[in-house]
Amino acid sequence: MTHLKIDRSFVSPLDDPRRADGLVHTIIEIGRALGLTTVAEGIETPTQLRRLRELGCGLGQGYLFARPLESDAIADLVARRTGPSSHARSRRAARQRTVRTKESARAGPCRAPRESGGRL
């Protein structure tokens, strides 16, 4: 195990300044103590992002960054954000992930691992 995810149900209340963020802070500290990377799920607003950064969360995923995308669309998004030199590598990597997923599906039912989130 390398990652500790913070469920979106804990991230959503971060929009309300009157709500305590102690539980999220505690989850981040537990992850740090165990040497795990903490990933916040369901980040939808700049306020949630700001508060997670203040609490020390380094990774996140959610609609604030992008809607769910197909592998080719992910490669295009990465290329736009990182520059044209990485575009070909991104598309190639996305195709390889798609091929591996199809091969895994033929091998029998399994649950594909989800990618970790984007850097906060």
Active site residues: 41
d(CA 113, CA 73): 19
The CA dihedral of 100, 103, 104, 107, to the nearest 10 degrees, is -160
Task: Classify residue 51 as exposed, middle or buried by CB count within 10 Å of its CB (0-12, 13-18, 19+).
Answer: buried
CB-based contact 4:38 (threshold 8 Å): yes
H helix count then E strand count, the chain: 5, 4
d(CA 17, CA 92): 43
